[in-house]
Amino acid sequence: MTIWGMVMDLKRCIGCNACSVACMQENTTPRGIRWTETVSEEIGVYPNATRSYVPLICNHCEDPPCERVCPTKATFITEDGIVLVDDEKCIGCGACITACPYKNRYKLKPQPFKAGLYSKGELTPFEDQGYRRFVLGTTVKCTFCHNRVEQGLDPACVVTCPAKARIFGDLDDPNSEPRKLIQARKGYQPRAELNTKPKVFYVD
């Protein structure tokens, strides 16, 4: 049974945020909403200072609080482990946004759709063809690019990463790239103690 997961290779990541832009490009997310991004933090004191780059994304948890709290069962998990939102069922109550400990869920508000990416009150042809998928007032999040995955393609962020820092694959297959990486480089989950069973792992 295929269970999709991802590994973030922190040794490779250079914090360029190509992933962020690729996702915005792929999904035509409105301005202000990023389903994935890479954050950076300074560590240490000069001259022994360094900086970390950490890619963040919805962890497509196996036991996600978002699914538990959803009153209409709009949030659901596919057979292959992808956590999605059915925007025909979503009533925009926001409980899932509060429940998500990773803050990876977002409410669609009217203003960015009205203003457009260029804040000019008009939409580019790109936005016009892309915004149609969205239902105002519902919650949106990373979908592990399930449209692409259905066709055997990797998610957009994985494909674009110049440093090949994102590795996507079947966590149920011990020979998959992510599984081998988790094994070889001691992969760990973000905030594992919260017991949401994230399917995104990190290796140092």
Partner 1 sequence: MVQAAVQNSVKPGKWINSTCKMCLHSCSIRVHVTDDGVVNKVEGNPTNPSNESGICPKGNSAIMRLYDPQRIKTPLKRTNPKKGPGIDPGWKAISWEEAMDIVCTELKKTLDEDPRKLLPAINDFHKLYLWAWPAAFGGNANYFSVVGTLCGGGYHPMNGFIHSSFAAANDTNYCNYWINNGGCDGFSSHLHVAGAARHMANARVDRGMHLVTVEPRLSSSAAKSDEWIPIRPATDRHFALGLCHVLVNEKLCDYDFLKNDTNAVYLVGPDGYFVRSKEGNEPYVWDSVDNMAKTWNDETIKDYALEGSYEVEGVTCKPAFQLFKDTVDSCTPEEMEKITTVPASTTRRIAREFAKAASIGSTVTIDGRTLPLRPAAYNYYRGAQGHKTGSMSNHTYKLVNFLIGGIDTPGGHVGCTLDDAKIDNSHVFEGEGGMILPTPHQLGVAPPFAYPPNTAHLMDYFPIGVNPGHLIAETFFNPEKWGYDFTPDTMLIAHSNPLWNMNGPQDKYFEMVRQMRFVVAIDILLNESTEWADVVLPAHDNFERWNMTMIEPPLTEGQCLTQPVIEPLYDSRSEEDIFNEISERLGILDIWNEIQNQVNQFAGDPELELKPGIKYGEREIAERKAKLWDGKSLEYYMEHGHTSTMRRPDKWYRPWEGKRLHFYIEMIVAERDKLRKNMEEAKVPFIDEWEWEDYQPLPTAVLDPVHLEPEEFDLLAISFKDVQLNFGENLSIPWISDIVYNDPVHMGVLINPKTAADRSIEDGDLVTITSSYGSIKGLAKVTEGIHVDAIAVSNALTRWTGYHAIVKAGGGNFNRLLPANLKNTDANSGQMECTAKVKVKLFRKKPVDRNEAERMLRLHAFSK
Contacting positions for partner 1 (CB under 8 A): 9, 11-12, 14-18, 20-22, 24-28, 31-32, 37, 40, 42, 44-47, 49-53, 84-88, 117-120, 122, 124-126, 128-130, 133, 143, 145, 147-148, 151, 153, 156, 159-165
> With respect to partner 1, which residue has the nearer C-beta, 39 or 192?
39
Question: Alpha helix locations (H) across 40-175?
Answer: 65-69, 95-99, 110-115, 125-131, 146-150, 156-160
CB-based contacts of 185, cutoff 8 Å, min separation 6: 9, 203, 204
User: Phi then psi for 76, rounded to 5 degrees?
Assistant: -145, 165
CB of 160 to partner 1, least distance (A): 6
CB of 135 to partner 1, least distance (A): 10
CB of 12 to partner 1, least distance (A): 4
Question: Which residue's entry shows tokens 């990773």?
Answer: 102
> With respect to partner 1, which residue has the nearer C-beta, 1 or 49?
49
> With respect to partner 1, which residue has the nearer C-beta, 46 or 193?
46
> With respect to partner 1, which residue has the nearer C-beta, 186 or 195?
186
SS3 content of the chain, % helix, strand, coil (to 5): 25, 25, 50
